[in-house]
Amino acid sequence: MAESSPTPPRWTPAASPRKRLNGVGCNNTGERKTSRGVFLTWQDVSVTAVDEKGKHKVILDRITGCARPSQVLALMGASGSGKTTLLDTLSGRLGLDLIGTGDVLINGRREMLSYGTSAYVTQENTLMPTLTVREAIHYSAQLQLPGSMSPAKKLARVDRIIREMGLSAVADSRIGGRVSKGISGGERRRVSICMQLLASPGLLFLDEPTSGLDSAAAYHVMAYVARLAQTAGITVVAAVHQPSSEVFDLFNALCLRMGGWC
């Protein structure tokens, strides 16, 4: 079980309330934070889109909030309310056609999110249908984990993550897809999450993890995520659309988007 969460950091005043975002953080020391106990805080974050005619449209308007270790923060709101834009802003994936201002802080400091500190699971599954669950996660481990780690340790980490996400029963089943039959949609989504957890990130971003799933599959996906967040001390931020009441009860905190505000 993860240790109890420390007291969250106090806000660090921005040098300018409308300072342009430079990814997530602007620390040039190259220092890498531990993957445990990551407090994500943001203050006066705004995002503006500029079209081809030079017209500006405000998508996010001076949003402030925080996400804590061992908890799941849900970003909710109507379609087009800016859930994914906020998620991309916090994770440093904001598009070049968008202008972001404000402060996004990691443990109270401006720092670039690095590999091993954070992971991002997209809405679309990008899995090879001919591979088994174990093969897909194992091949991903070979690419992500350092060469200094022994093959036995890599296999042990793969097996542990498969167990933690409740995929042991289908570990040797083909993933499948639209053409060939394989595991369920919810299990595919969990495989995608597993592949991002190999580096033991302290911060996990999920873009619509329940999209396209029935209520039962959506609940199983989020239940495993919530349990993993609690036991491993991971900070989870998820953009979720129309969750069931059972899924909603799994969230520890809520950011409700409406008209650019949260």
Q: Is the pLDDT of residue 9 over 60?
A: no
Higher pLDDT, 109 or 226: 226
According to CATH, the superfamily of the domain at 69-81+111-257 is P-loop containing nucleotide triphosphate hydrolases (3.40.50.300)
- ∠ Cα 151 236 63 (to 5°): 140
DSSP 168: G
Q: Is the pLDDT of residue 16 over 60?
A: no
Count CB atoms within 10 A of the CB of residue 159: 15
pLDDT tens by residue, 29-85: 333 333 458 999 999 999 998 877 778 888 898 999 999 999 999 999 888 888 999
Q: Domain locations in the chain?
A: 69-81+111-257
Considering the chain, what percentage of its residues have pLDDT values greater than 90? 60
Confidence of residue 12 (pLDDT cuts 50, 70, 90): very low
Confidence of residue 94 (pLDDT cuts 50, 70, 90): confident
Whole-number pLDDT of residue 79: 83
Higher pLDDT, 27 or 103: 103
Whole-number pLDDT of residue 42: 94
Give the span between the Cα atoms of 56 and 99, in whole angstroms.
10
Mean pLDDT for the stretch of residues 235-257: 94
The average confidence (pLDDT) of the chain is 83
Q: Is the pLDDT of residue 124 over 60?
A: yes
Q: Is the pLDDT of residue 222 over 70?
A: yes
pLDDT tens by residue, 168-189: 999 999 999 877 889 999 999 9
Whole-number pLDDT of residue 73: 97
Residue 46: which residues within 8 A CB-CB, separation 6 or more?
A: 18, 58, 60, 61, 62, 63, 100, 101, 102
For residue 11, the one-letter residue type is: W
Q: What are phi and psi of 45, to 5 degrees?
A: -80, 125
Whole-number pLDDT of residue 153: 94
Give the span between the Cα atoms of 60 and 88, in whole angstroms.
12
Q: What does the CA dihedral 32, 125, 252, 217 come to, rounded to 10 degrees? A: -150
